Structure 1
């Protein structure tokens, strides 16, 4: 069934959609495809959104990186992978990663690691280490950093 919305109505709808929170191009295009628009109409609206600064991938990537790190405690690898999955350019990914303060990143890593280590009730040391490392690797932290922290926690706790 073809959508009865006009181009102007869809444009206003997309402006509101983009104003609510930062969006990447892929999210906006996907939303318009779901509304039943043709490629030519989608391109026209995307150009309008970019020209009016409703859509800006660099700004999106920066907000995404800051938010996922601060709120979900994601590491750099996870943030990079998620941005790549959204077809964000390498330039914008690198710009976004500069938004994360190095000291804040390390503090978040150590806090999260220690909190998770204490929460694990596993008695078997190998299983505990595996659960700990798997958790932090899924969060996107560097493997060397995770394994070093695991060794340090094994020595300095219990």
Structure 2
């Protein structure tokens, strides 16, 4: 494989960033696999930032939106993944603040409702804690999950009573 020069790598990384939102860490990892010098890598990244191919806040907003809407992750799991990608706390907080509380609680409620049907437990207490662990694994805070579970349990008790 021929060694690519800095200008060619800049064009390739611009195309890479154009195909999807990328954070600086992803681009840096890709560039460090090449045989470019560290100064060249730094220059390429700064040029990509300057020309808005890399924008950490735009990346964080897109990441939060996608992981919440499609993967149905909670704020905690999203925050951890963004931290792993080297995004600053301030940018993470701004991106997470864009999530609507009503939609967030609705997604949590839907997840718990669906999971409640498949959870096998010997009693209500065990079912409650299994669902709480499930929600925590999805990145939702235990306090939020507990509130939703209490509402779900109360609603299901009313439904059973109405059916009789």
Paired residues in the alignment total 157
Q: String of CA shifts for 1:52-105, please: whole Å, max 9, x gaps.
A: 110000100010011111111111111111111111111111111122122211
Looking at structure 2, the residues matched to 32 and 139 of structure 1 have their Cα atoms a distance apart, in angstroms, of: 32
**SS in structure 2 of the partner of residue 5 of structure 1:** coil
In the superposition, relative to structure 1, how do residues 97 and 41 fare at CA in structure 2: closer, same or farther (>3 Å)?
same
**SS in structure 2 of the partner of residue 157 of structure 1:** helix
Name whichever of 67-76 and 127-136 sits farther off: 127-136
Which one has a bigger Cα radius of gyration? 2
What residue number does 1:21 align with? 20
Task: Compute the TM-score of the two structures, normalised by the length of structure 2.
Answer: 0.86
What residue number does 1:110 align with? 109
What residue number does 1:86 align with? 85
What residue number does 1:10 align with? 9
Looking at structure 2, the residues matched to 154 and 103 of structure 1 have their Cα atoms a distance apart, in angstroms, of: 19
What residue number does 1:57 align with? 56
CA-CA distance at 1:155 after TM superposition: 4.7
RMSD: 1.9
Name whichever of 17-26 and 113-122 sits farther off: 113-122
- In structure 1, runs of 5+ residues without a counterpart are none
**SS in structure 2 of the partner of residue 72 of structure 1:** coil
What residue number does 2:162 align with? none
Looking at structure 1, the residues matched to 117 and 28 of structure 2 have their Cα atoms a distance apart, in angstroms, of: 44
What residue number does 2:36 align with? 37
Q: Contact 2:108–2:148 (CA<8 Å) still a contact in 1?
A: no
CA-CA distance at 1:126 after TM superposition: 4.0
